[in-house]
Amino acid sequence: MKDNARVFFSLVIVCCVCAGDVRGALGQDDKQADQEKEACIGNLKQIYEAIQKYRRDHKALPDWLSDLAPSYLPDKSVLVCPVTKRTGKISNFGIVDPHLANAYLFEFANTDMGAIYNGGKIKMLEWKQKQMGVVGSVVPMVRCHLHNQVLNLSFDGEIYESGSSWEDLFSVVDKADLSPEKLFGKDFARLAGGGGGSGDGVSAPSYPPRSAEAKTNQVDLSQFYNASLAKAWHPTAPGTQGYDLAPLPQGLQTFADVSFDVRGVVQIAGRKLEEAGGKFPSEVKGIPFGARCKRLHFLHSTGWSVPEGTKIGSYRLNYSNGETRELPIIYGQQVRDWFANSSSQPLDKNSVVAWSIKPPRDADNKTLFKTSWENPLPDGEIKSIDYLSAGSDAAPFLIAITAE
């Protein structure tokens, strides 16, 4: 089967090259697309060589492409496709490098597959290794979805084009045979299960994919979501009784004059939530940013109330020069309990009620707040953002971040 797959893939690669050779005169847009594709192929070749050097030293693949820089990949701009440089678009399908923003999808990342790939807690690396057991080293290691055809860098260094699903190129292997359900067999449900932060162990939460229209200033939180908007994530709240954010419009949405990428919840710990059985982290570190900005807009709220003026959490900005700055979350100033009604405005002049609704099935409003902070160091590049709980009774949660 592997040999047949290799022959078929060789034919595909030859056909792609021939198609490029016989095209006629190109318009300016076609020339630009070709130039960007060739530059991207050059990036992929450098990435492959860096991965091989890493493997020789560590006897393993890197967990993330960022692990290659700077020791094996001195120029980190190699991790940015020319299309990203021109348009700002990134297409990594929720597999977000936590250390360094880059444009490429690293399919062998040592991270959970999640709902996007229908694999829950199974690692991407484990899935790809299983696929290689069926079709060999033609399995893509790195992919770029920003061209007319997807560019694939295979495990053995070949570069070939495909549609969004490289598996469709096979005539001798059924695509379903390469799915996690098929490859992990009877162990799939046990390995993939994990549920949300409440620890119910029923199923992995489901998050919509990031829109292709999302901008880089709309921070991609895909890798950090730990609760679904559509399901109750506080254990004391029955899942059918409305303690969720199911009515909240999802995708690219504008609230309080700011466009946000709304697809999931980043919940951090609080004493009342812990007492109720909610198992969430006290901190979420390393949300990639990698840019300068004038101000930051946060769409957020909190569960449970505390006395006015109590610090319940903070956002820590980590700058590329090593400096840090804290943006404190004060109850009554930036946020209030999400059960607050729409008239419960925060006291801070830079915070407003961004969205509030009273579901017919629920006695209480669901309310989100928007806080806009000026960047304390506007000339400095923010490398990453940390989201930290102060350990109070309140349990802050984050929906989206947009930079300006």
- Positions of the chain with pLDDT under 70: 1-28, 93-94, 115-118, 193-206, 235-243, 340-343, 358-364
Q: How far is CA 128 from CA 122, 210, 299, 398, in A?
A: 11, 22, 36, 32
pLDDT on residue 26? 35
Cβ–Cβ < 8 Å for 263, 205: no
Q: Where are the beta strands (DSSP E) in 79-123?
A: 105-106, 112-114, 120-123
pLDDT of residue 231: 82
Tens digits of per-residue pLDDT, 101-139? 788 999 999 988 875 566 778 899 999 988 888 888 889
Given this model, what pLDDT does residue 205 score?
58
Tokens 């939530």 map to which residue?
A: 273
Q: Residue 336 contacts by C-beta under 8 Å, 6 or more apart in sequence?
A: 301, 302, 305, 344, 346, 367, 369
Q: What pLDDT score was predicted for residue 184? A: 86
**Length in residues, the chain:** 404
pTM: 0.53
Nearest to 391 by CA among 281, 265, 228, 232: 281
Domain extents for the chain? 2-191, 222-403
pLDDT of residue 20: 42
Predicted local confidence at residue 274, as pLDDT? 85
Residue-level pLDDT at 168: 83
Beta bridge partners of 337: 302
Q: Where are the alpha helices (DSSP H) in 92-245?
A: 124-135, 180-184, 188-192
Render pLDDT for 38-96 as a digit per residue (tens, 0 to 9). Answer: 999 999 999 999 999 999 898 889 999 999 999 999 999 999 999 998 988 877 766 88
For the chain, counts of helices (H) and of strands (E): 7, 17
What is the per-residue pLDDT for 346? 74
